[in-house]
Amino acid sequence: MCVFCKIVKGELPAKVVYEDDKVMAFHDINPQAPIHILVIPKKHIPTLNDISEKDKELIGHIFTVIKEIAKEAGIDQSGYRVLVNCNRDGGQEVFHLHFHLLGGKPLGPMVCS
């Protein structure tokens, strides 16, 4: 089972900020910004490539959750970035689809180093 599935099942601890029947959000263990939250579907979807037509509602729901978390964290007006890494060149390390929500400081331009 992947690490994020273990978090969903409560087998690994996480600082959870949001949960419903389909989605979970928790603080990244290695934050890259003052606010760095991961928003994930509870069901195991390995990568963005694996999103299917039947997941359209779920993905839309994830974005409504993201903007509510951003508001709750007080960064909706200052601004934030939402990021998805896919596969090797995208730098994906955990193969359970997740959306990085980053903010709390000026993030600068997008960097591809």
> Considering only residues 49, 93, 108, 109, which one is a binding residue for ligand 5GP as defined by CB under 6 A?
93
Per CB under 6 A, 5 contacts ligand 5GP: no
From residue 63, alpha-carbon distances to 48, 77, 88, 105 in Å are 14, 16, 24, 21
- Tell me which residues in 14-73 interact with Zn ion (CB under 5 A): 44
36 labelled catalytic: no
Rank residues 59 and 92 by Cβ distance to ligand 5GP and give the closer one. Answer: 92
Identify which of residues 28 and 55 has a Cβ nearer to ligand 5GP in the complex: 28
Q: Is 91 a binder of ligand 5GP (CB under 6 A)? A: yes
The least distance separating ligand 5GP from the CB of residue 96, rounded to whole angstroms, comes to 8
What does the CA dihedral 95, 56, 40, 37 come to, rounded to 10 degrees? 120
Distances (CA, A) of 54 to 19, 21, 58, 83, 95: 21, 16, 8, 22, 20
Asked if 37 interacts with ligand 5GP (CB under 6 A), we say no
Q: Is 40 exposed, middle or buried (0-12, 13-18, 19+ CB in 10 A)?
A: buried
From the candidates 27, 36, 61, 98, which is the catalytic residue?
98
Rg (CA), the chain: 14
Q: Which residues bind ligand 5GP (CB under 6 A)?
A: 3, 12, 14, 26-30, 38, 85, 91-94
